[in-house]
Amino acid sequence: MPPRKREQAPSTSTPAVTSTPQVSRSSTSSKKTSSSAQQIVDGIWKNYVNKTPQRVKLLDAFMAFLAVVGALQFVYCVIVGNFPFNAFLAGFSSTVGQFVLTASLRMQTNPENREEFKSISDERAFADFIFGSMLLHFFCVNFIN
């Protein structure tokens, strides 16, 4: 369990701090936070890999893909310039919009959020997702000219 691990980390380092002289306190404390930050990230990652269901991981992969595509478009726009600005906007906002719609689907189908979305079943969430995506892509295709 990651929380327990986090609680252990300071407790192991506290004796070291008390034993070392007062002067080096700042350097050790900064080292401590950096190491704990890394531990935190590690913990999150491990937790994620272990606990997330396969279907949600698929959604996450899709979201990561969308983020990469969006970032690529943006970098291209910065390098080359934004001459057909509507085309850039259509492409970029389609990735952004699809990203947030997928995130919404992920939230709605997450069992932890059950009490938030009482009226929405998983199938309903998926149908909503399709409805939203259709609208989004209609507008994007219309806007790209």
Partner 1 sequence: MDALFQGDAAKNTRTLLRAIILLTIAGAAISSRLFSVIRFESIIHEFDPWFNFRATKYLVQHGFEPFWNWFDDRTWHPLGRVTGGTLYPGLMVTSGVIYHFLRLISLPVDIRNICVLLAPAFSGLTAYATYLLTSEMSTSPSAGLLAAAFMGITPGYISRSVAGSYDNEAIAIFLLVYTFYLWIKAVKEGSVMWGALAALFYGYMVSAWGGYVFITNLLPLHAFVLICMGRYSARLYVSYTTWYAIGTLASMQIPFVGFLPIRSSEHMSALGVFGLLQIVGFVEYVRLQLPSKQFQTLLRSLVLLIFLVSFGGLVLLTVSGVIAPWTGRFYSLWDTGYAKIHIPIIASVSEHQPTAWPAFFFDLNLLIWLFPAGVYLCFRTLKDEHVFIVIYAVLSSYFAGVMVRLMLTLTPVVCVAAAMALSQILDIYLLAESPSEELQTLSSAEAAKAAAGTSLLSDGLRSTTKPIVGIYSYMSKATVVVCSTIYLLIFVAHCTWVTSNAYSSPSVVLASKMPDGSQHIIDDYREAYYWLRQNTPQNAKVMAWWDYGYQIGGMADRPTLVDNNTWNNTHIATVGKAMSSREEVSYPIMRQHEVDYVLVVFGGLIGYSGDDINKFLWMVRIAEGIWPDEVKERDFFTPRGEYRVDDEATPTMKNSLMYKMSYYNFNALFPAGQAQDRVRGSKLPAQGPELSTIEEAFTSENWIIRIYKVKDLDNFGRDHSNAVAFEKGHKKKKAAKRRGPRSLRLE
Q: Enumerate binding residues for partner 1 (CB under 8 A).
A: 2-3, 6, 40, 43-44, 47-48, 85-86, 89-90, 93, 96-97, 100-101, 103-105, 107-108, 110, 112-113, 116-117, 119-120, 124-125, 127-129, 131-132, 135-136, 139-140, 142-143
Residue 5 or 25 with smaller CB distance to partner 1: 5
Residue 20 or 113 with smaller CB distance to partner 1: 113
Q: Where are the alpha helices (DSSP H) in 1-145?
A: 2-19, 25-51, 54-80, 85-109, 122-144
Question: Could you tell me which residues come within 8 angstroms of residue 21 by beta carbon, excluding any fewer than 6 positions away?
Answer: none
Q: How far is CA 50 from the centre of its chain?
A: 17
Separation CA 69–CA 59 (nearest Å): 15
Joined together, the tokens standing for residue 46 give: 């491990």
- Are the C-beta atoms of residues 98 and 136 closer than 8 Å to each other? yes
- Minimum distance, C-beta of residue 100 to partner 1, in the bound complex (Å): 4
Residue 23 or 118 with smaller CB distance to partner 1: 118
Residue 58 or 85 with smaller CB distance to partner 1: 85
- Minimum distance, C-beta of residue 22 to partner 1, in the bound complex (Å): 23
